[in-house]
Amino acid sequence: MSSKPRIGVIGFSDGEPAVHEELKGIVQKQVDSIVNEICSLDVIEIVVASELVNSISTAKKMALEMITKGVDGVIFSYGVFSFPNFSVAAAQFSALPCLLMANLNPDWPGMVSMLASGGALNQLGLNHLRVAGDIRDKEIQDKVVSFAKCARVVSKLRGSTYGLVGGRSLGMYSTTVSMQEWQKKFGVDIEHIDQSEIVRIAEEIPIQQVEKAFSWLTENLKEIKYDGVQLTPDKLKKQIRHHEATKRIVQEKNLDFLGVKCHYEMSRHHCTQCLSAAFMNDPYDWDGPKKPVAYACEADSDAALTMQILKLLTNEPVLFMDVRHWDNERGIMVFCNCGSEATYYATGTDDYKANLKKTTLYPALSIYSGGGAHVNLMTHAGKATIARLCRKNDVYRMVMFDAEFVELAPEVMKETTEEWPHVFAKLPFDYREFLDKFDANHCHAVYGSHVDDLTKVCKMLEIEVDILS
């Protein structure tokens, strides 16, 4: 299946039959220009409507055609004036993210049509985006590409399945969600799975697969700090079995992303799930390259959803972090979570050898008496977007901001919990603003600046936005 967004293009014309016949060439010309320019970029798969819209019936027909052809979003093209009720019908029937486009052409009132149609959509609460300008301009092309990427996120969320393995962890309200709300708002189904399934399936994993993984880790990791109690070869192999069991659950239940409770049933009585949290989110494991699966620790469902949105937007692994400490002396926020992050973040590349040479397995802390390994690494320096879905009075908002990850001396990790992964970040604002506004202990990040695109995704999903700067 193509990873490119699949976007439909519909041309809108006048509703008077005789006028439509006279102007349809103008309408078609703008549709053709959009299609030709966007296809030349080779980053979007374009689906062109089989007819121009010049009536309610053709608006419905083309909307249903777009649904049938499986587009992620649709561009409404206005080359002349089109009756706004046509756009309303197409938007309502398709229920897809919409981008209204008009050219800067003084000869024809395409912009008039875009504004009239956009006003009608807004009055009815039908969210959409708009862009006006010459499709040959890079700025306009970039806006279309951005729309397509964001529409794909929304499309891929709808109809997806989240695996909730275990229940609420450690009494945290911010990690629990409503199944009905998720289905209504995001189109995401929640599959409840008991953690005992991991334990049961782990016993079925062939010993050859366990030894293969064990050898791969032993050969490639910087160090495995066996202590003979919490972390032994047998404990590590047990974690490998749990990871393989989790992989099987994802495959057999067709899960798109998941959260696993871990504490304390697993971490005290079986083993920590840190190995799974690292390598589910990684673009590789001992079986070779793979697609990352967003995996949230402590069954934090809003964390998992945030991670899935970021993953769909960037096609990259996503960080899961605890907000641990403000280092006033160095002017950095320290993010350090209880045992794992994708090893991808050791270098920010898919090079597993380079990443694992910067990754150490430490014995699990004694409070996790089931034992196993914590996965320690320092996140590679670079610009990043940090984000998290938060809720107040059951209303979702996405808190987001750009930050700068920095690398410090390894000894600095001893100041918090050395065994755990660390992210050191410079914030573009007073850290107290973050602590005042942020409504969770977990947050998430990807490399690059994605605030603009993430804002578009939130608009399509009708999520409030809180950008810290």
Q: How high is the pLDDT of residue 2?
A: 62
Query: Are 314 and 165 within one domain?
Result: yes
Query: Are 136 and 189 within one domain?
Result: no
Q: 369-401 as b/e, with b when 16 or more CB fall inside 10 Å?
A: ebbbbbbbbbbbeeebbbbbbbeeeeebbbbbb
What's the structural domain count of the chain?
2
Domain contains 390: yes
Query: Are 254 and 287 within one domain?
Result: yes
Query: Are 310 and 182 within one domain?
Result: yes
Domain boundary, last residue among 108, 123, 157:
157
Domain boundary, last residue among 130, 157, 184:
157
Closest CA to 308 of 410, 362, 387, 373: 387
Tracing tokens 């807004």 back to the chain, one arrives at 122
State the Cα–Cα distance between residues 429 and 277, nearest whole angstrom: 30
Domain contains 216: yes
The range of the structural domain enclosing residue 87 comes to: 6-157
Residue 219 CB partners (closer than 8 Å, separation 6+): none
Domain contains 17: yes
- Tell me the pTM: 0.96
Query: Are 20 and 116 within one domain?
Result: yes
Domain contains 1: no
Query: Are 206 and 87 within one domain?
Result: no
Q: What is the CATH number of the domain that holds 336?
A: 3.20.14.10
Closest CA to 395 of 443, 461, 442: 461
Domain boundary, last residue among 157, 192, 227:
157
State the Cα–Cα distance between residues 311 and 320, nearest whole angstrom: 12
Query: Are 121 and 194 within one domain?
Result: no
Query: Are 151 and 255 within one domain?
Result: no
How crowded is residue 301: how many other Cβ atoms within 10 Å of its Cβ? 25
Per-residue pLDDT of the chain (469 residues), as tens digits, is 468 999 999 999 999 999 999 999 999 999 999 999 999 999 999 999 999 999 999 999 999 999 999 999 999 999 999 999 999 999 999 999 999 999 888 888 999 999 999 999 999 999 999 999 999 999 999 999 999 999 999 999 999 999 999 999 988 888 899 999 999 999 999 999 999 999 999 999 999 999 999 999 999 999 999 999 999 999 999 999 999 999 999 999 999 999 999 999 999 999 999 999 999 999 999 999 999 999 999 999 999 999 999 999 999 999 999 999 999 999 999 999 988 999 999 999 999 999 999 999 999 999 999 999 999 999 999 999 999 999 999 899 999 999 999 999 999 999 999 999 999 999 999 999 999 889 999 999 999 999 999 999 999 999 999 999 8
State the Cα–Cα distance between residues 298 and 173, nearest whole angstrom: 12
Task: Note whether 122 and 130 are within 8 A (CB).
Answer: no
Domain contains 296: yes
